[in-house]
Chains A and B, each alone.
Chain A
């Protein structure tokens, strides 16, 4: 089966799921339900693109199949920024009330962090993936601890507001951000077009990429910023989803068995879409909201991750 056929099947399946999600049991109150469901679907689509593509790009620049951008502590940083803003200004300040302002601040900090991380680590320890992992992990934990420390100190009412931010989910989409995110994704897409052709070559590793005329440092830096923006968007919109990226990208790799990023990108995004819409359907219809999507995704993702570790162990 060719790539095209596989992609068509996946797209058809995704469209089918979206159709079910939008129109199932719509009933007479459709003018109430449909816009709400549409918002959810839009959020899911944006999240799928952001998570799928950022994970793919991150794995390509680190040359590793079991990493996700979370290893840099990017999503813990987002939570830290939210808590810090409440801690500093209180929940009624403009930085919390105006979600667009809030988003812009978070985005700037995360891009700044990605750049610093790049300068300090990627350049110096670029070859030493273990150091990178270790420091990323420690930073993630550090951000997490700082977050809970500040949460203990703030007013309980304010804590509730922070918590609402932290457990963003698809049931609780940050609607105000939706349009900003769509614009954001669109701009990132335009910016990425220029660098997309380098992805395949980057996957060969630094030395081959330089030999083939890629300005490695510059391209990696730009791509890392793209990753930071995408992680910000998806975390702000639907909350942290640790394993989703890892899950879908590896399923896509197994399914397509190719190195071509044009196909992998489309595949990863479609798988993410299917996982999220399918998962959300499960949550709403089977579990009747007794659990959240991120729990399901992390459960399945965790199992798959262990499987991956065992399998990678025996070299493939």
Chain B
């Protein structure tokens, strides 16, 4: 379980994350939603130690992340940020192999190769595994990066807007894949989403943030309602029940 206790982060004088306390349940998808600048990505980056927190504590399976060895953490928790520009020319397979670094330190064993194969198969990248990343479409590239995270084989996977720049088909594909990761492999996924309908349909828990504060948290059915969303987004959102899914109509 990931436990966040009274965590804050300041940039200059501006508090971007303010006193957030949160428990992220295991083997579920937890979605962070909220308007731009609410501090979702910052919180995610702090949980994954990419940026330092100014105050508070973050425990992963009972251990404070500041006191863990970085390499041990890399076997427990992985993160994928939204922009993944690389200065290197890598093939898909080479990229996915990097996911094994915490275990292999660069020398892949048979066991590592097996994990790489599995991750590539899981994301349906077999046919393009020897192509270079810069020749791929946005969706394929995103899948390759997710495959790298899968190869890292961590219990916790943090994803920062993985659906950014993806079309509907690829977005749905990736969300289904994540659902499978949770249901079949027992991973815990924390994901920042901008489209609340994806959160509503695929997430188990929702954490809503606004102006650096956590304003709502709970099971998806409890959070997706008119008054909560009005509070979070300052918009009147009409919620319809379609095929047993709560769909938010916010376009007009």
- Taking beta carbons and an 8 Å cutoff, which residues of A are in contact with B? 63-65, 197, 200-201, 203-205, 207-208, 210-215, 257, 259
Contact = CB atoms under 8 A, between A and B. Distances in A.
Contact of A213 (B72, B87, B90): B72
B122 interface: no
A204 B99 CA distance: 11
* Prevailing SS type, chain B contact patch: loop
Interface stretch (B15-23, B101-109, B219-227): B101-109
Given A212-B102, A259-B90, 17 more contacts: A63-B87, A197-B105, A200-B98, A201-B98, A201-B101, A203-B88, A204-B88, A204-B98, A205-B86, A208-B98, A210-B49, A211-B80, A213-B75, A213-B102, A214-B70, A214-B71, A215-B70
Interface in B3-52: 48-50
A242 B55 CA distance: 45
B50 A210 contact: yes
Given A197-B105, A204-B98, A211 B88 contact: no
Given A65-B87, A201-B101, A207 B74 contact: no
Contacts of B94: 259
A204 B101 CA distance: 12
A197 B106 contact: yes
B59 to A, nearest CB: 18
Highest count of chain B CB atoms <10 Å: which of A64, A201, A207, A257: A207
A207 B87 CA distance: 13
13 contacts: A201-B101, A201-B106, A204-B88, A208-B84, A210-B48, A210-B50, A211-B50, A211-B80, A212-B98, A212-B99, A213-B72, A259-B88, A259-B94
Contacts of B105: 197
Contacts of B89: 257, 259
* Prevailing SS type, chain A contact patch: loop
B72 A207 contact: no
A206 B85 CA distance: 12
Nearest to A219: B70
Contacts of B73: 213
A223 to B, nearest CB: 16
A197 B100 CA distance: 13
Interface in B163-183: none
A312 to B, nearest CB: 11
B188 interface: no
A257 B91 CA distance: 12
B94 to A, nearest CB: 7
Contact of B74 (A64, A204, A212): A212
- Closest 9 pairs (CB-CB, A-B): A213-B74, A213-B71, A213-B102, A259-B88, A212-B101, A197-B106, A215-B70, A213-B70, A197-B105
A201 to B, nearest CB: 6
A64 B85 CA distance: 13
B142 interface: no
B87 A64 contact: yes
A63 B87 CA distance: 7
B86 A211 contact: no
A11 to B, nearest CB: 24
Contact of B152 (A203, A212, A215): A212
Contacts of B87: 63-65, 203, 205
A316 to B, nearest CB: 8
B79 interface: yes
B207 to A, nearest CB: 21
A212 B102 CA distance: 6
A36 to B, nearest CB: 42
Contacts of A200: 98, 106
Highest count of chain B CB atoms <10 Å: which of A65, A212, A259: A212
A167 B73 CA distance: 50
Contacts of B98: 200-201, 204, 208, 212
